[in-house]
Amino acid sequence: MNGIATRDQRYISLTTALATRRERRIAAAIAVVSFVLFAAAVPFARVPLAQLPAFIPSYEAALFFIDLITTVLLFDQFARLRSLGILVLASGYLFDACMIVPHALSFPGAFAPSGLLAATPQTTAWLYVFWHGGFPLFVIGYAMLRRAETSPSSLPPLGWLIAVAAVAVALLALALTLLATLGSDLLPVVMQGSDYSPLVTKGVSPTVWVLTLIAVFTLWLGTQRVVDLWLMVVMWVWLFDIALSAVVGSHRFDLGFYAGRIFGLIAASFLLITLLVEMARLHATALGAIASAEARLAHLASRRDRADTATARGARDDTFINRQNIAHYRSLLESETLDKAQRRSIEKLLEEEEAKRQPRTA
């Protein structure tokens, strides 16, 4: 196929269609532009900016709904394809959404001066680490499972499987939240006031960044479907989110803090936009196919009506000619000028014409 998705593949599912050359070029352009913007922001990453307490709730509310909608769409894809890889990816986006909630609630100044959920000074930073370090693990698991899959898996009832996955993710997010709040004393100190440079010096944020880079390369290997391509773009931009927010940047509300989160919001939107666009395209294709089928049926019905009309007209013409022939032969037989041979010939022709009428009058 030379990397070009066939029309039939794309109609089946976005998660099974191979990425086209055009899509690869668009993804590459986005990757280059995002890298240029990242490189431009790096020298100014530690420049302090105004503190906007409403930024985190607004940003993370948008991110939460983006991840939640993406989760629902991916669970739907899993139900159609019965692919464990898609289930793991959907669970990853659900994990993302679940971790956003405690991170926003515990962020100092967002809803309370020191944050909610009995947060300690270390809570929000560790929730960020669990959030941004956990999602790449789900992506790596997705890529490895999809590469190993050759046919739809034989699975238990899909509704139960989705419910179990959702509950497991929720429990995992709850456990990590409890660890970052009630168990924060068990974790290394990574925050000193608003300075989170210990995340870098203790190797925590670089480890998260490396996990994300591994996810990118895992998606790069093997055959790339449309979802794989755009998920790779997501993780590529996610690299710049982590780098600006937790590696290059060192304080809350500096330029890296804001820029990194803007990169994160953009990254989260890529796969959702792709899914929605392809769903709209698939819907339009289905409507076009229905309209074409209806037009074809109308055309066939019209041809059938014309054929029935022509048949009926031909039958009437044959009956009229038959009657004319019978009347003509009878009038000839009334003539006294015919000899015996001529009379026998005409009588034979008359019998044939009358025989033609028998099926119609029976």
Long-range contacts of 217-221 (CB under 8 A, 24+ apart): 218/139, 218/140, 218/143, 218/144, 219/139, 219/143, 221/143, 221/147
- How many Å apart are CA 37 and CA 29, to the nearest integer? 12
For residue 28, give the amino acid letter: A
On the question of pLDDT at 313 being above 70, the answer is: no
Radius of gyration of the chain measured on its C-alpha atoms: 37
Give the three-state DSSP class for 2: coil
Q: How confident is the model at residue 9 (pLDDT cuts 50, 70, 90)?
A: very low
The tens digit of pLDDT for each residue in 233-269 reads 999 999 999 999 888 887 888 898 999 999 999 888 8
Longest dimension (CA), the chain: 135
Q: How confident is the model at residue 311 (pLDDT cuts 50, 70, 90)?
A: low
Q: How confident is the model at residue 346 (pLDDT cuts 50, 70, 90)?
A: confident
On the question of pLDDT at 11 being above 50, the answer is: no
Long-range contacts of 194-201 (CB under 8 A, 24+ apart): 194/251, 194/252, 194/253, 195/250, 195/251, 196/125, 196/246, 196/250, 196/251, 196/252, 197/250, 199/125, 199/129, 199/246, 199/247, 200/246, 200/247, 200/250
Out of 5-14, 156-165, 235-244, 250-259, give the one with best mean pLDDT.
Answer: 235-244
* CA nearest to 275, candidates 70, 27, 67, 64: 70
On the question of pLDDT at 59 being above 80, the answer is: yes
For residue 325, give the amino acid letter: N
